[in-house]
Chain A
Amino acid sequence: MPLLQINNMSHDFGGLRAVNNYNLETEPGQIRGLIGPNGAGKTTIFNLITGIYRPTEGDILLNGQSIVGLKPYQIAAEGLGRTFQNLRLWRHMSVLDHVKMAQYSKISYGLIGAFFGTPKRRKEEAEIEEKAYSLLKLVGMANLADQLIVNLPYGDQRRVEMARALATEPRILFLDEPTAGMNPEELIQMMEIIRRVHSEFGLAIFLIEHRLKVVMELCEIIQTLVFGEVIAEGSAEEIQNDPKVIEAYLGKETIL
């Protein structure tokens, strides 16, 4: 059974069909890519899967169970972690607090623990702190754990966001343009982190990217989305030579 299966998903914004008849089957441990020109509906697909929008039609199955209609936090707790295109970090919180916060669903000390500081709370807080440190070490940010997030450079913020997404213990990680706005050095670091995360946790990863270098190097299967519709699906090589993809990105060749 595929880990995540999407059947004929469509979504309308008023009269505009943003996503049309989208299908997906992801196996555990697979890295997939989603490319397409601006406004093609890539982020909308992420928002549909993670429950921010509810699809107009179609079904989303995680391990055979439908997750349509669940709240975003429930879907996240089911094992669909994500990052955002424009970061969405919490500007007044420290790096460590970011990664601790993402383990919210694992907390069981309840309100009594929160109000009175019971031993159970101390134990659980220590556990999630330890986990947070190990994740920060993985992305190379452990030495800056006490810093406020706004004091960090952009590339570091991206890495914290990655650690935060991993802290939700996802089975599939959705990365929305993980290398947007990065310089070449940061880009290589980020690709290294994605590879390490993939091999260490055996995660399935689904990423949106504009940089073809990243997609071509990392992904096993790539989908190309244009105006809400998948026009091509296949390996990096197949996509690169697909005339429809070339047309979507470069326009049609006209012979005068």
Chain B
Amino acid sequence: MITIDRLTKRFDRRAVLDELTLSIAAGDRIALIGSNGAGKTTLFRCLLGQYRHDGRVGFDGAGAGRRDAGALARIAFVPQLPPPLRMPVGELLGFAEKGAGADRALMQAIAERMGIDLDEVKKRPFYRLSGGQKQKILVTVALGRNADLMIFDEPSANLDPAARAVFIDLLAERRDASMLIASHRLEEVAPLVNRVIEMDRGRVVLDDAVMDRLKAGEFRRAEIVLSAPHAPFALALSGWGFEANGAGTRFTGPVPAAETFRFLGLLARYGSLIESLSLDQQPERVN
């Protein structure tokens, strides 16, 4: 769907994107990771036609012009920081509906699930909303559009855990669109994606097709040893079907291959407690 060929963007002679070459196929759901300054936001802005650049960005085989409104009609975007728009929320939704084809009923349904009452906030200026409310509205607008590609730049940064969980669910349900999600919480978006791309200093340093190796239906066997018993950790692992020894320090259980990232993300939260960890390399079927 999108072909990026030797994309280079410089600021004051410093290359923020350095001959980056990448292709995004229809149906790709990509987690874009990388440290601050790796070039993720710059890549998004080049895709949206907001930066001049060297190299080529093509949409559906055609080398799109600098900024093609036809291509933008197929892309929904949620920025890292909500803009301080002065317009009331209702006007923003109306603009998205009339100018970008967003579906009013769909936005209403999404907002309800995100926990925000559009009728209550529709007359309030957007910039007066809390950070979380703003993010929910932006997600509502993006998901309310009939877009082929959704670009999310740290979309859940301002969301509370409950809203974040709903947001992830909404993304998982949206099977008809490709996604490009920049997130520092890889474990959170990992179940959604079939591809992980890591950027460093403007280049792709890892492009991993997750589903090729971590196929749905396959499992790994994990064994974890803690330095001391820890009730919250035991509770978290019980949800994954793990068994504990009598002392509550050794846990064994299956990890669905496709859920590996999310499982490792869970473990990362308890990293200081873990003495040893093994993941069986041989996939084993568990019934």
Physical interaction between A and B: no
